[in-house]
Chains A and B, each alone.
Chain A
């Protein structure tokens, strides 16, 4: 995602910077123009409308998440010599990934997915990143199968979607008043990871 025109790049970075202190939905075009010192004409030369700039920024944010997940999983695979070591590494990732602290990330992801469903433009940019994530995780599962750490009966693509589905879907828990505690959630996820996904062949 560094193939942008410099002006485009500045505007996208500016939006991403702003998301660190305010919700993306509250960012205005005036704000971005003032901070980036880019003219209105220039903005509309690069983006059809302000919404498109926001969508591009959201896609870039999501693509960073995709890179991060894939890199952490491939590190887990490369440093592990046995299935047990691999499961320990995965469980450490689960601990970081599934905790309630990640709630903001998950809420943003839900918002992006909802936009991708409702807008064709967003579907194209976000869909490509989602595809990269699904395929990336799926490749790592295939690699684990080759090492004998995952069942060959398992479909790597479906397993990849499954892992993401319950991670994203946990957002359901955040809208209700009583929440499940992290410990019992991680305990369940570890059982699924060990007994459904990475079962020795």
Chain B
């Protein structure tokens, strides 16, 4: 979607993305964005309804970028796998990246964006499109794995996609407590789910 945007629109969104990434909690103003991007105020309001609309695009951009990376990695894994065991092994490696504590900042960001979309209908509409696209792509990968005889044939691919996205984001409940679970214990439970429920060995 972003690729089809006018160059000026892209530049503005990327300036906001850069600021959000360097300081996620700081208040970002339109003056700040205009200064960094070197784009005029008139131009900003030509491309966006208002300043918040531009910030919403930036939020969704960050939201989707990491998921797209994971999707690309999964696609490669599927292409390189010659057996169910290969795939399960690759996914275990990916789990240790996507579920790592280092990714918590992104998890938080994703949660906050989803929470904002509960009351902000404009954001919700835009997020829904992107979210639907990501879920669809993940479901396609699982369907492909099913066709190869590796994915559990009794499961609905879209449900699996939502489930994987759900526990990846929902892990955040461990973030606000004083005591935290062990990262290895979490990987173990995700591995077990992948091995026994999503991609069970054929007996």
Contacts and interface: CB of A to CB of B under 8 A. Distances in A.
Main DSSP-derived SS at the B contact region = helix
B176 A175 contact: no
A25 interface: yes
Interface in A134-169: 134, 153-155, 157-162, 164-169
Nearest to A168: B170
B117, B158, B160 — which one has the most chain A CB atoms within 10 A of its CB? B158
B192 to A, nearest CB: 5
A169 B169 contact: yes
B131 A175 contact: yes
A191 interface: yes
Interface stretch (A8-16, A33-41, A125-133): A125-133
Contacts of B166: 165-173
B189 A114 contact: no
A13 to B, nearest CB: 24
A46 B119 CA distance: 28
B31 interface: no
A145 to B, nearest CB: 14
A185 to B, nearest CB: 6
B188 to A, nearest CB: 7
A131 B177 contact: yes
A111 B118 contact: yes
B91 to A, nearest CB: 15
B167 A158 contact: no
A139 to B, nearest CB: 13
B179 interface: yes
B186 A117 contact: no
B131 A196 contact: no
Contacts of B178: 127-128, 131
B131 A162 contact: no
Interface in A23-39: 23, 25
Given A176-B132, A196-B196, 14 more contacts: A114-B112, A114-B115, A165-B170, A165-B172, A166-B167, A169-B168, A171-B166, A172-B162, A180-B159, A181-B156, A185-B163, A188-B155, A188-B159, A188-B163
Interface of B: 25, 108, 111-112, 114-119, 124, 127-128, 131-132, 135, 154-156, 158-160, 162-163, 165-179, 181-182, 185-186, 188-190, 192-193, 196-197
Interface of A: 23, 25, 107, 110-111, 113-118, 123, 126-128, 130-131, 134, 153-155, 157-162, 164-173, 175-178, 180-181, 184-185, 187-188, 191-192, 195-196
